């Protein structure tokens, strides 16, 4: 992966962020930061006025600000002005706010955590485990979820080697795998579970996660052997990997007499204080 997106929290308010692996830098949504520091009801207008002020003062900061597509509350991606850590520190100096100093400490902490995780990837898994535990997930489920992240990374690395493009092509191949093993494409799978912007895998049962991992791991192994070229060949391999896991799913359902893919989500389990098995 060359991009990693995340939502970071400062005093329970959301700040959209983006990690660029090539530059090894965090980028933060400027309007989100301004909204927190100023508590303005119109952070975009505040940012527009601040940019004009900085330009008049001869600052080159606003000219160096870039844009990235980030997820908005309506679930769509829009281009958003972003600043890296250094730019954000400079920008904060121009915003009078009692929250400035604790916000700087928060930014420094976020940046350090990511650098630490690059040097020692296990730290990233430790933080994820801590996050899931706080949300009430069982340790057994968390271990499966962390393993699923590792399996997914192996698959995307393989796709990179085969020339699959990130974004749309990744999404289409993932859809093929999901549909082949579960019987639902990603959109309808989420609809079945009553999800909107929530992560589908975070709402899978333990067995659903295992089958999804089997589908992706199998796709990876087939791809390594067949070495598909081009998107269409990779699409066929994705379907083959998903189908193998789908056949396993059918056998389990026949023996157990129970459906594996259901509307039950992790949220339902947590709300009813039941553990995912």
Specify whether 104 is located in the same domain as 200.
Answer: no
Among 119, 147, 175, give the residue marking a domain's end: 119
Cut 0.85: pTM above it: no
The mean per-residue pLDDT over the stretch 192-206 comes to: 86
Residue pLDDT, tens place only, 151-176: 999 999 999 999 999 889 999 999 99
Q: Cα separation of 145 and 151, whole Å?
A: 10
- List the single range of 136-150, 205-219, 244-258 with lowest mean pLDDT: 136-150
Residue range of the domain that includes 67: 3-119
Q: Cα separation of 63 and 87, whole Å?
A: 11
Is residue 277 situated within a structural domain?
no
Instruction: Please count the structural domains in the chain.
Output: 2
The mean per-residue pLDDT over the stretch 129-155 comes to: 85
Is pLDDT above 70 for 118? no
Is residue 251 situated within a structural domain?
yes
pLDDT of 102: 81
The mean per-residue pLDDT over the stretch 210-214 comes to: 97
Is residue 276 situated within a structural domain?
no
Is residue 76 situated within a structural domain?
yes
Specify whether 178 is located in the same domain as 109.
Answer: no
Specify whether 115 is located in the same domain as 209.
Answer: no
Specify whether 73 is located in the same domain as 150.
Answer: no
Specify whether 178 is located in the same domain as 254.
Answer: yes
Sheet holding 13-20, edge to edge: 3-10, 13-20, 25-29, 77-84, 66-71
Comparison of pLDDT for 81 and 121, the residue scoring more: 81
Specify whether 114 is located in the same domain as 126.
Answer: no
């Amino acid at each position: 992966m060359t991009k990693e997106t995340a939502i970071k929290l400062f005093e329970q308010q959301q700040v959209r962020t983006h990690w660029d692996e090539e530059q090894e830098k965090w980028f933060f949504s400027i309007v989100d930061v301004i909204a927190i520091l100023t508590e303005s009801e119109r952070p975009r207008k505040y940012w527009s006025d601040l940019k004009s002020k900085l330009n008049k003062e001869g600052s080159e900061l606003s000219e160096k600000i870039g844009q990235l597509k980030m997820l908005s509350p309506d679930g769509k991606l829009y281009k958003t002005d972003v600043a890296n850590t250094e730019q954000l520190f400079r920008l904060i100096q121009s915003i009078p706010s009692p929250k400035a100093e604790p916000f700087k400490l928060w930014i420094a902490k976020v940046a350090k955590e990511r650098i630490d995780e690059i040097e020692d990837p296990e730290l990233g898994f430790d933080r994820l485990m801590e996050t899931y535990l706080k949300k009430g997930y069982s340790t057994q489920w968390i271990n499966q979820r962390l393993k699923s992240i590792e399996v997914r990374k192996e698959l995307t690395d393989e796709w990179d080697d085969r020339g699959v493009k990130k974004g749309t092509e990744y999404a289409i191949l993932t859809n093929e795998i999901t549909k082949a093993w579960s019987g639902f494409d990603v959109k309808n799978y989420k609809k079945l579970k009553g999800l909107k912007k929530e992560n589908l895998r975070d709402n899978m049962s333990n067995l659903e996660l295992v089958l999804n991992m089997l589908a992706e791991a199998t796709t990876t192994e087939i791809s390594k052997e067949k070495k598909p070229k081009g998107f269409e060949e990779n699409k066929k391999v994705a379907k083959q990997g998903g189908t193998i896991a789908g056949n396993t799913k059918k056998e389990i359902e026949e023996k157990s007499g129970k459906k594996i893919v259901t509307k039950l989500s992790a949220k339902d389990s947590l709300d009813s204080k039941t553990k995912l098995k």
